[in-house]
Each structure stands twice: as C-alpha cells, then as structure tokens.
Amino acid sequence: MTQAPELPKERRRRHDREIIALAVPAFGALVSEPLFVMADSAIIGHLGTTQLAGLGVAAALLMTAVNVFVFLAYATTAAVARRVGAGDLASAIRQGMDGVWLALLLGVAAVAVALPTAPWLVHAFGASDTAAPYAITYLRISSLGIPAMLTVLAATGVLRGLQNTRTPLYVAIGGFASNAALNALLVYGAGLGIAGSAWGTVIAQCAMAIAYLIVVVRGARQHGASLRPDAAGIRASAQAGVPLLIRTLSIRAVLMIATAVAARLGDVDIAAHQIVLSLWSLLAFALDAIAIAGQAIIGRYLGAGDAAGARQACRRMVEWGVAAGLVLGLLVAGSRPLFIPLFTSDPAVYDTLLPVLLVVAVSQPIAGVVFVLDGVLMGAGDGPYLAGAMLVTLAVFAPVALLVPAFGGGLTALWWAMALMMAVRMLTLWWRTRSGLWIVTGATR
C-alpha cells in the first residue's frame, strides 16, 4: 500500500464514524442469512430425523447456488458507490437497476435448472434413500425463491453503494421474523410438513425482495432514473461480475478441498472440522462487515476523484481489520474450553479441537487484513486482479492440503494449511494495494 501521511485526528475520527455507521448494520444483515437456515432446522427438526436430514442436503445445495452469485452484491456496490462519489445519483441508481435486472435473469435461469435436476442433485450430494424425498420436495419449492434471493443480493448492493446499510438490516430482521412465523404456521398449523417450511422461506424471501424494490424504485423516481432494462447495462454488470464469480468459486473450492481432506482423516476429525468451520464462518461475518464498509467508502472516494482520501481510508480500515482480528483471536483463544462443550461431549473431538482453535485464533489478525483489503479492491472495481490472486492462492493451498494425510498430519496440520492460504491472500492483496495500481478515479473504472 502506498505511503500516506499520518491522518489528522479529525479525519481519523470521520473515517471511524463512517466505518462504524456502515459496518455495524452490515454485520447484523449478514448474520441474518444463517439464521434463516437455523430457524428452518429448529422447526423441521421436530418432525423427524429424516426430514431434518433432507433439509440439510437441500439447504446446502440452495445456499451454494445462491452464494455463487454473491458478486451481484459486490459488483453493484462498487459501481453504485463510484457514481455516488461523482455526484450522479440518477446514474448510480440506473447502474443499480441493471444489477437487479441481471439478478432476475440469473434467478429465472437457476430455477429452470433446479426444478428438473433436483432429484439428481440430491442423490449426487449423497442423501439417503429415506431423506432424499424430503430433500427433493424442499429443494424444488425453495428454488422458486431464487430470483427473489438474487434480487435481494443486487438490491443490497445498490443500497450499500448509496452508503445505506441500515435498510438492509431492517429488511433482514423483518425477513427472519416472517420466515420463522410462516414456517411455524405452515409446518404445524397447516400440516404441510417440510413443504410448509419451504413455502414459508419462499414467501419471506419474496417479501424481502419487494421491500428492497420499493426502496430502489422510490429512489429512481426521486432522481429521474429509468427503471427499464438496458441490454448494454445488464451486459456490463455481468462482465464486472465474472471476475468476482471466479474469485467466489475459488474460495468455495478451498473450502471443499479442506472438507474432503478432513473427511479422509476420520470421523473425529471431520466432526471437529465442521465445528471449526461454523466458528470460522461466524468470525468471517464480523470481518466481512468491515469489508462491506470498505467497498462503499472506497468506491465513493474514487468516484469523487479523491485518490488521497481513498488511500487514507484504506489505511484506516486496515488498522480496523488488524484490531478486529486481534480481538477476535483473543476471544477464540480464551473461550476454547467454554466453546467446545456447546457442540460436543466427545473427549476425542474435544482434544482434537483445542489445538485447531488455537490456529484459528492466531490467524485472525491475518484474516482481518485479508477481508479489509478484499473489500478495498472490490470497492475499486479491481475484480480481475482479485480473481487472479485467488486462483494463485488456490494453486498454493490445494497441494499443501492434499499432502496433509500423506505425511500423517491431522486436523491441526490442515488448519495450518488454511492459515497459509490466508497468508498468501494477504500477501497478494497487500502487494496490489501497495502498488497503487488499484487507484483509478472517476465515475467508471
């Protein structure tokens, strides 16, 4: 990262206020995503083990499909924020609508694929013969909500780009509450079983999408922005999203390789690995909230032509990332004896988890820098570099992780490989920010 003069206290405080104002609501909205699945699991769990197993398979497939398209939020945030910085709100909202139209098109295509292939996907995922019918039912119904889910992603990006993370928080809270209520009503009150849970989730997601669209459409009318689909704009949104899609798929490949290696290590190791992954995901939400603030703030500075302000904001957010990582690392290290009994009473799993969680704790400051710089480069619209850097990281991680069983390493060794993966990401992102090549000012990159 290029050197910038020390921030005056007033500017430092202003950056802090901006980061807090954007990151805290973003964290609340991010946490709502796993809460949807948790609510469904809690309600379906009382129907029976096979129903819960079916939900587990279908939910994993559904969330994988949706998470692949998370670039709809990231790319839209950066593009909208640039135009906000340039003072062109009408163009910003117009750009956001292109992202929303792209989300609807991709959602319809995903439904067209999911409906006929649901049985094959469920069986390919390893569902048992008893759980498969429930998984197929849930997947087919819930897939109808994919267009709404993707619309929520794109519209969330629009509002983040407009420096508004409070509305997504409020919509997420309302969506979670309605999802839980509808699930209880349809599963037990209407006696629809797992199908009722799926319909409840679809209705809640559609309601969230409608709420977002009302806000975006109101902004478009206020600033005279067109709501009609624009082929060139949709194509540009798709092109901006391709590198981020490659980045996302590379990250998913890392997680899949890690899980596959853990499964080869034995039942105790894979059980412990799943527990660690749940904690790792929660920590990622906290750090990703700062990254989201970075996307919005950096995009706005660059759109306004303020390269110095973008550098200073980047520097301050890195400091936030390191501090957040240190705090989270200390919490993980100190709470290990309290955290593990919440998930297992097996002494073997307990003993396996203790050193692994220490590795996770040690790597959190690195993760803090990675998430922040990732957000900075996304806000700058530097997607092609992010894609290439993540492919390099995957190329380093894959052979190291796959050699863990061959050399007699256990789960701790695997998670040291995960720490190496984060270190490689940090180095590639740090080099880019230090070079200054990401700093391209103007309403478009």
Q: Tell me the C-alpha to C-alpha distance, in Å, between residue 156 and each of 68, 146, 208, 278.
A: 16, 15, 11, 24
Q: What is the pLDDT of residues 235-250, one digit of tens each?
A: 988 898 899 999 999 9
For residue 91, give every residue at least 6 positions away whose Cβ sits within 8 Å of its Cβ, in sequence order, or none.
83, 225, 443
Kindly state the average pLDDT of the residues 264-275: 81
User: Which long-range contacts does 180-185 make (Cβ < 8 Å, 24+ apart)?
Assistant: 180/39, 180/43, 183/39, 183/40, 183/43, 184/43
Kindly state the average pLDDT of the residues 382-408: 94
- For residue 214, pLDDT over 50 is answered with yes
Query: What's the mean per-residue pLDDT of the chain?
Result: 88
For residue 269, give every residue at least 6 positions away whose Cβ sits within 8 Å of its Cβ, in sequence order, or none.
262, 263, 352, 410, 411
pLDDT, residue 1, reads 46
pLDDT, residue 206, reads 95
pLDDT, residue 48, reads 78
pLDDT, residue 21, reads 85
CA atoms of 343 and 188, how far apart (whole Å): 28
The residue ranking higher by pLDDT, 169 or 396, is 396
Dihedral Cα 346, 352, 353, 358, nearest 10 deg: 160
- For residue 7, pLDDT over 70 is answered with no
Q: Label residue 162 by pLDDT band (50, 70, 90).
A: very high
